[in-house]
Amino acid sequence: MSATLLFKIVLVLLLLFIIFNLALALIRMVRDDPNSGKPMSHYLGRRVLFSAIVVILLVIALQSGFLAPNPRPY
């Protein structure tokens, strides 16, 4: 398994985890009981944190040449 493929798998898993945290925040927002479990801001904060990690990893990978962007169409 190449390192590039492993990096892409990690990015996809992080994106799925971001969607999972967004769904947990939605469920938390819809529930009526405010005293059960963690607040909605906990899940939204984790989503923002992991989104920032994904962006930083992508920028580092593109700048170091580990990943190559698609060529321009013109």
Higher-confidence position of 35 and 29: 29
Residue type, 73: P
Give the percent of the chain with pLDDT over 90.
54
Residue type, 47: R
Q: What pLDDT, on the 0 to 100 scale, is given for residue 22?
A: 93
**How many domains does one find in the chain?**
1
Q: Does 54 fall in a domain? A: no
Grade residue 35 by pLDDT with cuts at 50, 70 and 90.
confident
Range of the domain at 28: 1-47+59-74
Q: Would you say the pTM of this structure is higher than 0.85? A: no
Going by C-beta distance under 8 Å and a sequence separation of 6 or more, which residues neighbour residue 57?
7, 10, 11, 14
Q: Does 53 fall in a domain? A: no
Q: What pLDDT, on the 0 to 100 scale, is given for residue 14?
A: 95
Cβ-count burial 34-65 (b if 16+ within 10 Å, e if not): eeeeeebeebbebbeebeeebeebeeebeeee
